[in-house]
């Protein structure tokens, strides 16, 4: 995890130093993809051998989809970044379809840190920001647990300060 300043889009603010997420998020997403697509491919392959060779066709289609998805995961993770500013938090994501979410500290209601079994095994966590509007919730996946806890505490204190009018 480190800082990055390279330009990434026409709507990115100037002078922002983006913080990167952990590269272990690539591994987590590849494992999830392998389970989600690899397992059905294996089942279809076994059924193709036992029942009918026509089942090789959907297995091949799933395999091609899996390889295509796997080929972009590293770029997707590299495109994720966040930056803390004085009044808000910026979160950017996406390679082909980019998004920039601006969450004002005064709008945050609470901040969650979570990590499932795979994330814990890989030493990463997610920070979820909740606001009054469910459509403006934002999350940052792939943070190291220490950074996730630091960010949670910092965002919570900044949110309280904004609500108090400081």
Residues 6+ positions from 73 with CB-CB distance below 8 Å: 26, 29, 30, 33
Write down the pLDDT at residue 5.
47
Looking at residue 133, the DSSP 8-state letter turns out to be: S
Sheet holding 125-131, edge to edge: 108-114, 125-131, 138-143
Per-residue pLDDT of the chain (166 residues; tens, 9 = 90+): 565 545 455 667 778 889 999 999 999 999 999 999 999 999 999 999 999 999 999 999 999 999 999 999 999 999 999 999 988 999 999 888 888 888 888 888 888 999 999 999 999 999 998 887 777 668 999 999 999 999 999 988 887 776 666 5
The residue with tokens 């390279």 is: 6
Gap between the Cα atoms of 161 and 31, Å rounded: 40
CB neighbour list of residue 12: distance below 8 Å, 6 or more residues apart: 92, 100
């Amino acid at each position: 995890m480190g800082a990055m300043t390279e330009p990434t889009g026409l709507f990115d603010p100037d002078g922002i130093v983006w913080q990167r997420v952990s590269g272990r998020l690539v591994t987590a997403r590849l494992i999830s993809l392998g389970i989600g697509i690899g397992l059905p491919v294996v089942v279809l392959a076994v059924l193709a051998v036992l029942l009918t060779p026509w089942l090789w066709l959907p297995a091949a289609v799933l395999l091609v989809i899996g390889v295509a998805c796997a080929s972009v995961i590293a770029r997707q993770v590299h495109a994720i970044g966040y930056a803390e500013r004085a009044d808000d938090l910026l979160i950017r994501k996406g390679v082909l379809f980019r998004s920039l979410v601006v969450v004002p500290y005064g709008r945050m209601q609470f901040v969650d840190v979570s990590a499932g079994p795979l994330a814990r095994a890989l030493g990463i966590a997610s920070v979820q920001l909740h606001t009054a509007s469910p459509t403006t919730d934002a999350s940052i996946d792939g943070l190291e647990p220490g950074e996730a806890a630091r960010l949670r505490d910092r965002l919570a204190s900044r949110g309280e300060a904004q609500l108090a009018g400081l």
